[in-house]
Amino acid sequence: MSTRLAREGRFINKNKAVSFRFNGKNLRGVEGDTLASALLANDQLLVGRSFKYHRPRGVIASGAEEPNGLVNLGAGDSFEPNARVTTTELFEGLTATSQNHWPSLEFDVGAINTHLSRFLPAGFYYKMFMFPAPFWKHVYEPIIRKSAGLGKAPKRRDDDTYEHFNINADVLVIGGGIAGLAAALAAGLSGARTVLMEQTAHWGGRAPVDGATIDGMPAEAWVKQTVEALSKMPHVTLRTRCMGAGVYDHGFVLGYERLKDHKPTAAGAKHRLWRVRAKQIVTATGAIERPLSFAANDLPGVVLASAARDYVVNYGVSLGDRTVVVTNNDDAYRTAITLKEAGLEVPAIIDARVTADGELPNQARALGIRVETGKAIAKVAGGKRVTGVSVCAQAGEGAVLEEISCDCVAMSGGWSPVVHLWSHCGGKLNWDADQAMFRPDLDRAPTGADGKAFVIAAGIANGHLFSAEGLADGFSAGRAAAKAAGHDKKPGQAPMAEDVAEAAMEPVWLMPQGASYALRSKAWLDFQNDVKVSDVQLAAQEGFESVEHAKRYTTLGMATDQGKISNINGLAILADQLGAEIPAVGTTTFRPPYTPISMASIAGPAQRDLFQPVRKTPMSDWHTANGAFYEPVGQWRRPYAYLRGDETVHEAVNREVVNARENTGLLDASTLGKLIVSGPDAGKFLDMMYTNMMSTLPVGKCRYGLMCSENGFLSDDGVVARISEDTWLCHTTTGGAERIHAWMEDWLQCEWWDWKVYVTNVTEQLAQVAVVGPNARKLLEKLGGMDVSKEALPFMQWADGTLGGFAARVYRISFSGELSYEIAVPASQGRAFWDKLLEAGEAFGIMPYGTEALHIMRAEKGFIMIGDETDGTVIPQDLNLQWALSKKKEDYLGKRAHLRSHMADPNRWKLVGLETLDGSVLPDGAYAIADGVNANGQGNTQGRVTSTYFSPTLKKGIAMGLVHKGPDRMGEVISFTNIGGEPIKAKIVDPVFYDRDGEKQNV
């Protein structure tokens, strides 16, 4: 059984108990435990069920590579799925439940799948669930959804906060083992602004466990001394619990700092996402031990050899009383020695190599441990945990020579450098046949905009598996990085490490090498996704020869662990099956993040009220206090209608329209874009930007203008006013202000850079109010201060003056068809001006109206709306706006595009009005039905509805639409689609439904 030993652990404080719950059981750990070590100390070896076969799963590793130990953490608003037990630090009151089991972890119905495994081979889902098609949705998917999957999605909103942090650094070192510390030390001593990130809570990595000596002292002491030295350097930042998650272009790195995972009641953000812009990056990310592939290697109690000694040394926890070590290298002997020295039994070391006579094997023998060379594990015995192993010859096919009873198997198939961060941005790898591993090729590093390398791999992550060379490599990497970042100062003497000499490892990809199908089909490669040796071999047989294809076909290396311990073994099996060399098969692509990071850390502060900025006009508070029913327009919120009493939105809209037509309406038009365009070449410039002529507009007058993209499609519209000889004010749509400003700057900066034109966006400088209706003039006259008569201020003119004491610019323009003024005042006085209008307008029946009333009134007048009548495929000609396309101008944006044959095609759909025969409202977006079907068997169409409303003025439905040759078909009745009902008949009419001659607005 697994238990807490009497000895101390490096990370724990045995005097401080911590209580926690797992699957409803109250358990006790100690301060410094991870959830994994605490569970193991309670003999809770079983932590979950596997993805496909629901096999019992135990902890296999001690760090970020753990594939099995995933749990649901917390509950309610702090619920988090897929928490890795090996990297979850224990805290008082922690609650965890295991995943992917039903009804319970101990008894799982889905485990029947393991007996059906011969019917669930690689690619099973692709093969099985193809036919019949309807079965997928109604039968297969619901069942598979229930039986597959890891953590559950949270049901409640996350209660925590998250933040980002942006920094620049000369040198960013990822990994706080001895190589990373040495790199940071060299960079820091060179004077570089340095950041060192370590994903765990502890510095030093494996060296203190594995027993290296540095500068004559134990690794642990050197680590402490170095961390202290680095802490004193003001230009060096050290961060534990901060994982280098991804390396991106231009030296951008994401660091994922877990601030509160280990103390959830603390103040502040739970996670902090460091957004680092580094000149140079050192990846000192260490290495991950590989499992060995033998039958039933997935039983709880079969663990990585390094993990077995980590739990003893760091947490004072043993995984079993009798541990069989199985290996192809010397390093695993450290585990046997550590266990033996801790007073635990090691019945045998099974070494696949024919000879093992290095220093470590001899040390093990001296301790009385039996070493069996040339041997392998044929099969592990046990159910929910290991009970023994059968030993066979590695060279054979699995004939059992001996059975050894044990409750733990510690395996080591060698080490794979963590090359993920090196590879994220394109760093290339070489296959090191001697050490059987991929290692970075420093000559093919990720390169920046200058073509120079910006990532340096260091230490074990660079393929230097031993402390002496790894430490030296780390220091020189730190120095090289500092130098490349412009810090030439000599960092002084590099630290020196000594370690025990190790004999060469021997690649072992299958144990025994001639294992039968029965053994291979129980030899796990990927523990999380239930991929076995036989599955990868089947994939290769079926033609999935590319490693990327084989991955997707078998699911090898997918899901939360992304195959950290399984990928190399899997591709070695694939290579063997294909008869190819391992480097020829290659690896799958390493993509960020290194281990999953919380979605919320990516969102950072963008949650709740800060989810998205909402732009507000100076009058917004009034709107909110007066029944505004909002709609989003760009990033603004605009009142759609103002609700009074218990009226519906529809009733409010109708009331607002009628009142504006009969009395006085008030519209907050502040959101409309306002761009000042000025300079000696401004007229010439605007003639290019707009389809119509703006340079000839007299000072004091206004003109409606259209803008097209260079491809001729309508992009924006608005009223342009000429302010002075060399200055124009261009109104844009609400959503178009920033876009059109950028569009103008684009042309001025990139194409016509020598034209003397400046553009300034004054959208927010001005609060703008439309005063609309037959009483509009009377209201302004009551305010007084300037002459707004028909003579002094005719339609489509503007004037500066004062109104009721407010400095104002008054435009005589109308989007409603009524007598209308749009009045701009400084934004700081917008609210006061609005209040003044409401007060003075009481006698004239004033009522504010929202965007829906605005839309209805413009539709009654047949005015188009960008975004309704246009959708990026519509040209002015489609909307009968030929009059606004200047024939006098040599050029304007869109002119040449309009000459293209498709644009000039007389068969384009064109704007018309539509009136249903029964007065009902056409559905928005409905299509006009034409005879016959198209090549895809779909009904033909001959037009579509672009705007449709109930007109309270005309008391019937009105609509605009684009119809094939529409203007030539006045009076014709056509049918429109009506989802769930009979087609609706509508007559093609003039789009101007109200006051065709414009008498109302021109009074």
Residues in touch with another protein (CB under 8 A): 161, 163-168, 193, 234-235, 237, 267-269, 272, 275, 277, 604-606, 609-610, 612-618, 636, 676, 678-680, 727, 756, 758, 760-766, 805-806, 826-829, 831-833
What six digits make up the tokens of 105? Answer: 């972890």
Q: Which residues of 452-477 are buried (b: 16+ CB within 10 A; e: fewer)?
A: ebbbbbbbbbbbbbbbbbbbbbbbbb
* C-alpha span between 291 and 657 (Å, rounded): 75
Q: How far is the CB of 482 from another protein (least distance, A)?
A: 15
The residue among 94 and 242 lying less far from another protein, judged by its C-beta, is: 242
138: which residues sit within 8 A by CB, 6+ positions away? none
Q: How far is the CB of 652 from another protein (least distance, A)?
A: 25
Q: How far is the CB of 156 from another protein (least distance, A)?
A: 21
Nearest to 848 by CA among 1002, 516, 688, 624: 624
* C-alpha span between 701 and 597 (Å, rounded): 58
The residue among 270 and 290 lying less far from another protein, judged by its C-beta, is: 270
The residue among 68 and 761 lying less far from another protein, judged by its C-beta, is: 761
* C-alpha span between 278 and 414 (Å, rounded): 33
Map residue 522 onto helix, strand or coil. coil
Give the CA-trace dihedral at 986, 988, 994, 996, to 10 degrees: -170
The residue among 806 and 821 lying less far from another protein, judged by its C-beta, is: 806
**Greatest Cα-to-Cα distance within the chain, rounded to the nearest angstrom:** 114
Q: How far is the CB of 889 from another protein (least distance, A)?
A: 24
Nearest to 418 by CA among 394, 440, 396: 440
The residue among 277 and 549 lying less far from another protein, judged by its C-beta, is: 277
Query: Do 813 and 769 meet the contact criterion of CB atoms below 8 Å apart?
Result: no
Q: What is the CA radius of gyration of the chain?
A: 37
The residue among 102 and 611 lying less far from another protein, judged by its C-beta, is: 611
What six digits make up the tokens of 404? Answer: 């050894």
The residue among 286 and 735 lying less far from another protein, judged by its C-beta, is: 735
H/E run at residue 289: strand 287-289
H/E run at residue 496: none
Q: How far is the CB of 825 from another protein (least distance, A)?
A: 9
The residue among 257 and 717 lying less far from another protein, judged by its C-beta, is: 257
H/E run at residue 529: none
Map residue 789 onto helix, strand or coil. coil
Angstrom distances, CA of residue 268 to CA of 14, 259, 797: 29, 8, 57
Q: How far is the CB of 377 from another protein (least distance, A)?
A: 49
Q: How far is the CB of 698 from another protein (least distance, A)?
A: 21
* C-alpha span between 729 and 768 (Å, rounded): 14
The residue among 754 and 931 lying less far from another protein, judged by its C-beta, is: 754
Q: How far is the CB of 187 from another protein (least distance, A)?
A: 15
* C-alpha span between 86 and 61 (Å, rounded): 7
Q: How far is the CB of 769 from another protein (least distance, A)?
A: 14
Q: How far is the CB of 584 from another protein (least distance, A)?
A: 42
Query: Do 688 and 892 meet the contact criterion of CB atoms below 8 Å apart?
Result: yes
Strands (E), 736-860: 758-761, 766-772, 798-803, 806-811, 820-826, 846-848
Residue 156: Cβ within 10 Å count? 10
Q: How far is the CB of 852 from another protein (least distance, A)?
A: 22
Q: How far is the CB of 232 from another protein (least distance, A)?
A: 12
Q: How far is the CB of 182 from another protein (least distance, A)?
A: 22
What six digits make up the tokens of 432? Answer: 């090191």
Query: Do 486 and 463 meet the contact criterion of CB atoms below 8 Å apart?
Result: no
Query: Which amino acid is present at 325?
Result: V
Q: Which residues pair with 78 in a beta bridge?
A: none
* C-alpha span between 325 and 313 (Å, rounded): 17
Render 39-69 in DSSP notation, one character per residue: HHHTT--EEEE-TTT--EEE---SSTT-SS-
The residue among 374 and 679 lying less far from another protein, judged by its C-beta, is: 679
Q: How far is the CB of 834 from another protein (least distance, A)?
A: 11
Q: How far is the CB of 610 from another protein (least distance, A)?
A: 6
115: which residues sit within 8 A by CB, 6+ positions away? none
Query: Do 862 and 659 meet the contact criterion of CB atoms below 8 Å apart?
Result: no
* C-alpha span between 619 and 835 (Å, rounded): 9
